[in-house]
Structure 1
C-alpha cells in the first residue's frame, strides 16, 4: 500500500473469511505495514455482528492503539440458518431478510460508526467495505436474491453517506465499497461449485491495488476489483 504513510497500521474485520483472511495475509507481507489487527468472533477483543454491543466494545478496546490508517470490513452473508438467496418474491421470509441486513448492513454500519473515529486525521487513511455487484440497483437485470441485493444496496448507501461526513473531519480519508468479483470461497461455493473463480489471494491483491489508487475525490464510490466504477 504505497499511498499510506510508512509504518501504517491496519484493521481487518472478518478475517476468518476467505477474502478477509487473504487481505490480512497481504497486509502482513507488506514491509511498509507496521501492524495488522484482525477482529472476529474468536478474537480478543471479539466482534460479532449478531451482538451489536460487541462492535462498540471492540472499538473501545482498540482506542488506546490509535491512530489506524486502514480499516477493511470484509464480512458478508449470502445464506445461513435463516435461509438462502430467494428466486421469487414468494420465497421472501422475514427472518432471512432480517438476518441479511444484520450481517450485511447493520453490522458494517456500526463498525463504521465506532471504528472510523480511530483513523488518523492528519494523514491519509482508507476504509473499505466488501459489497457486491448484485447490490447495484442500476445494474440489476436478472432479479432474484432479494435479501442479499437489498442488504448490499443499503450498505452502499451507508458507505456513501459516511464518506460525506468523514470528508469534514478526515479530509484525506477515502471510503470505498468494493466488489471482489467471483472468488473461490465458502460463500459462493454452494451456488457455483467448489472452483468457481479466482483464488481469494488474487482477489485480495486486486482489491488492495484498487483501494491504493483512489484519491479523496473518489471517496464514497463503488468499485469493482478491476478498477471499474460501478453504478449505484
Structure 2
C-alpha cells in the first residue's frame, strides 16, 4: 500500500521495532518503493533505545538526527504484562512496582520520545504516531480493571495532546497521533486469547499506515482507531 501523502523518497523511523507490530511496520515500510530509508530502533539496535533509560533515548535521537529529517516516526513499544505481573482485575491487586513498570514503558519513555524526536520531523510532511490503546479511553471505560495499563495509556494520550499544541506553534505541518491498533496476535496479547481473537501484525501495520496516510495537520493531537474512527478521550 503506497503512502501517497508522503513525498517520493520519504524517510521513516520505527521505535519498538523488535515487537510484533513494530517489526511489521518496518517490513511494510521497507517494501514501499517510495520509502528511501527505515531506521529500526529497539533495545537491541545500534544505536540502542531503551524506554526505561532516558539517556539512551536522548543519545539515540542525537545519533539518528543526521539521517533525518523524518517524514514518519512511529513508537510501537508498549507493555501490558511482564514476567512478574499481569493486568490487575481488582483494586486489591494494585501495587506500586507494577504501576511504575507499566508507566515507565507506556508513558514516561514515550514522553521523552516526544521531547527528543518531535524536532526531527520534516517541516513539510511530518507524522509522529504513538501506539496507544482503546482501553486508555476514559470515556469508553465500561468494564474496569487493568488499572496500570488503562491509566498509563490515558496519561500518554494527554502528553501527546499537550505536545501537539506546543509543536503546532513552531511546526504547523507536524501531525502527532495516538493510535489504537486493535487486538493483534503478539506477545502483548498472547495471554488474553490474542491468537484466537487477534489479527496478524502485518494486517495491523497496514491498517495503521492507512490511517496515518489519511490524516493531516488538522488531526494533530487526535486519538484514532485502526479503522480510522476517532476515539473518545
C-alpha displacement of 1:114: 0.5
Q: 1:90 pairs with 89, 92, 99, which one?
A: 92
C-alpha separation between the residues in 1 aligned to 2:178 and 2:36?
Answer: 25
Q: 1:35 pairs with 34, 37, 42, which one?
A: 37
Task: Determine helix, strand or coil for the equivalent of 1:5.
Answer: coil
Between the two proteins, the alignment pairs up a number of residues equal to: 231
Sort the Cα spacing of 1:193 and 1:30 in 2 relative to 1 into closer, same or farther, 3 A.
closer
When the two structures are superposed, what TM-score results if normalisation uses the length of structure 2? 0.97
Asked if 2 retains the 8 angstrom alpha-carbon contact of 1:189 and 1:195, the reply is: no
C-alpha displacement of 1:195: 3.0
Asked if 2 retains the 8 angstrom alpha-carbon contact of 1:176 and 1:220, the reply is: yes
Q: Which residue of 2 aligns with 1:126?
A: 127
C-alpha separation between the residues in 2 aligned to 1:219 and 1:183?
Answer: 25
C-alpha separation between the residues in 2 aligned to 1:192 and 1:206?
Answer: 21
RMSD: 0.9
C-alpha separation between the residues in 2 aligned to 1:81 and 1:207?
Answer: 29
Sort the Cα spacing of 1:174 and 1:193 in 2 relative to 1 into closer, same or farther, 3 A.
closer
C-alpha separation between the residues in 2 aligned to 1:184 and 1:222?
Answer: 22
Q: Structure 1 unaligned runs (5+)?
A: none
C-alpha separation between the residues in 1 aligned to 2:40 and 2:140?
Answer: 33
When the two structures are superposed, what TM-score results if normalisation uses the length of structure 1? 0.97
Q: Which residue of 1 aligns with 2:65?
A: 63
Asked if 2 retains the 8 angstrom alpha-carbon contact of 1:177 and 1:221, the reply is: yes
Task: Determine helix, strand or coil for the equivalent of 2:39.
Answer: strand
> Is 2:203 the partner of 1:202?
yes
C-alpha separation between the residues in 1 aligned to 2:187 and 2:10?
Answer: 30
Q: 2:55 pairs with 41, 53, 76, which one?
A: 53
C-alpha separation between the residues in 2 aligned to 1:160 and 1:166?
Answer: 10
> Is 2:23 the partner of 1:25?
no
Q: Which residue of 2 aligns with 1:9?
A: 11
Q: Structure 2 unaligned runs (5+)?
A: none
C-alpha displacement of 1:135: 0.1
Q: Which residue of 2 aligns with 1:103?
A: 105
C-alpha separation between the residues in 1 aligned to 2:126 and 2:218?
Answer: 13
C-alpha separation between the residues in 2 aligned to 1:213 and 1:82?
Answer: 40
Summarize deviations over 1:13-44 as a string: whole Å, max 9, x none.
00111111111111001111100000001111
Q: Which residue of 1 aligns with 2:117?
A: 115
C-alpha displacement of 1:196: 2.5
Task: Determine helix, strand or coil for the equivalent of 1:176.
Answer: strand
